């Protein structure tokens, strides 16, 4: 039986800002249908790592490779910027912490989703409307909102619309930066239930960055804990959270248990 190949491999990735090492020699594999959680306090380097993987930030050294839909292993140092952008529109998706950064607020909800479909070659207007309605329903937004501007949506609806916009091209890998940040507790709970269902049903691979231990406990199979640009602890999520070994992880877990 052949071993499962990683979907994404990061080797010895380094990114600094002046004398501050935001990512210090980071290495890991992400496998198909796996959710990898990355936690740490503000300034730990977790969001920098996510943006470096997405190509939003350049890195000094290191290698990022991705196994595409055709089974070809792509070295991100070797592919063109235009191909990288194409990947982000098709096989990858990025869910921003602030949905306004991931949406176009001056066009309708339907157009936000539809333009991603047009990126992958769908041109039939009726087909686009049908797909938009389907994905709005998948993220629990009534399709009657299709022709409304996102600026009229609540924060939770904007975040769900951003997720629909990402999912419509059926990506294999989704990068999420604090997807529940800024939402009130009841909205967070509904969004987390939705995300868990979508990840399971669509067999998504996800890298999830958050400061919230509860979010990774609910969603992530594996967990990295970052501090000062380094991974200080890693393992299965329940194992790391129920029996933390590093003092920093112990501190994070203890803080979440204080009423």
* Tens digit of each residue's pLDDT (9 = 90 or more) over 38-83: 999 988 999 999 999 998 888 889 999 999 999 999 998 889 989 9
* Helical packing angle, 125-138 and 155-167, nearest 10°: 130
Q: What are phi and psi of 140, to 5 degrees?
A: 65, 40
pLDDT at 105: 96
Contact 241, 201 (CB under 8 A): no
* Residue that is last in its domain, among 118, 136, 170: 170
Q: Is residue 3 part of a domain?
A: no
pLDDT at 21 over 50: yes
pLDDT at 255: 82
Q: Is residue 101 part of a domain?
A: no
Domain span at 150: 106-170
DSSP class per residue in 13-77: EEEEETTEEEEEEEEEEE-TT-EEEEE--TTSSHHHHHHHHHTSS--SEEEEEEE-TTSPEEETT
- Indicate whether 162 and 40 sit together in one domain: no
pLDDT at 243: 96
pLDDT at 150 over 80: yes
- Indicate whether 128 and 242 sit together in one domain: no
* Residue that is last in its domain, among 151, 170, 189: 170
- Indicate whether 69 and 181 sit together in one domain: yes
Mean pLDDT, residues 162-190 taken together: 89
Stretch (H or E) spanning 81? helix 81-89
pTM: predicted TM-score of the whole model, two decimal places: 0.92
pLDDT at 251 over 80: yes
Strands laid side by side in the 20-30 sheet: 20-30, 8-17, 61-67, 73-75
- Indicate whether 84 and 15 sit together in one domain: yes
- Non-local CB neighbours of 145 within 8 Å, separated by 6+ positions: 109, 136, 153, 157
* Residue that is last in its domain, among 123, 150, 170: 170
- Indicate whether 182 and 235 sit together in one domain: yes
Mean pLDDT, residues 95-115 taken together: 94
Contact 200, 13 (CB under 8 A): no
- Indicate whether 114 and 82 sit together in one domain: no
pLDDT at 259: 39
- Indicate whether 64 and 110 sit together in one domain: no
Model confidence at 1, pLDDT cuts 50, 70, 90, reads very low
- Indicate whether 225 and 161 sit together in one domain: no
Euclidean distance between CA atoms 8 and 58, whole angstroms = 18
Q: Is residue 48 part of a domain?
A: yes
Q: How many domains does the chain fold into?
A: 2
- Indicate whether 48 and 15 sit together in one domain: yes
Nearest to 97 by CA among 168, 165, 47: 47
- Indicate whether 121 and 84 sit together in one domain: no
Tell me which of 139-143, 158-162, 183-187 is least confident: 183-187
- Indicate whether 113 and 136 sit together in one domain: yes
Pairing between β-strand 61-67 and β-strand 8-17 as defined by DSSP bridges: antiparallel
pLDDT at 191: 87
pLDDT at 10: 97
Q: Greater confidence, 81 or 11? A: 11
For residue 177, CA distances in Å to 65, 132, 251 come to 20, 24, 22
Report the CATH number that the domain containing residue 186 is assigned in CATH: 3.40.50.300
Model confidence at 257, pLDDT cuts 50, 70, 90, reads low
Residue 121 DSSP code: T
Q: Is residue 1 part of a domain?
A: no
- Indicate whether 45 and 32 sit together in one domain: yes
Q: CB 229: neighbour CB atoms within 10 A?
A: 23
Model confidence at 187, pLDDT cuts 50, 70, 90, reads confident
Q: Is residue 96 part of a domain?
A: no
Q: Is residue 98 part of a domain?
A: no
Q: Is residue 150 part of a domain?
A: yes
Q: Is residue 97 part of a domain?
A: no
pLDDT at 141 over 80: yes
């Amino acid at each position: 039986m052949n071993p499962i190949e990683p979907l994404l491999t990061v080797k010895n990735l380094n990114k600094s800002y002046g004398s501050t090492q935001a990512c210090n020699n980071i290495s890991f594999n992400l496998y198909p249908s796996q959710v990898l959680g990355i936690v740490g306090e503000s300034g730990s380097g977790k969001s920098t790592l996510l943006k470096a993987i997405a190509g939003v930030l350049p890195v000094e050294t290191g290698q990022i490779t991705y196994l595409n839909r055709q089974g070809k292993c792509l070295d991100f140092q070797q592919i063109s910027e235009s191909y990288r952008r194409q990947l982000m529109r098709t096989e990858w998706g990025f869910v921003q912490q602030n949905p306004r950064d991931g949406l176009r607020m001056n066009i309708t909800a339907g157009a936000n989703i539809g333009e991603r479909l047009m990126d992958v070659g769908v041109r039939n207007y009726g087909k686009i409307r049908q797909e938009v309605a389907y994905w709005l329903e998948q993220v629990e937004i009534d399709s009657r909102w299709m022709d409304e501007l996102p600026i009229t949506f609540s924060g939770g609806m904007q975040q769900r619309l951003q997720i629909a916009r990402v999912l419509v091209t059926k990506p294999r890998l989704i990068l999420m930066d604090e997807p529940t940040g800024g939402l009130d507790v009841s909205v967070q709970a509904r969004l987390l239930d939705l995300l868990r269902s979508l990840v399971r049903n669509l067999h998504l691979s996800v890298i999830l960055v958050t400061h919230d231990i509860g979010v990774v406990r609910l969603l992530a199979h594996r967990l990295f804990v970052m501090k000062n640009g380094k991974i200080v602890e890693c393992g299965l999520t329940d194992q790391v959270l129920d029996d933390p070994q590093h003092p920093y992880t112990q501190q994070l877990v203890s803080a979440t248990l204080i009423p």
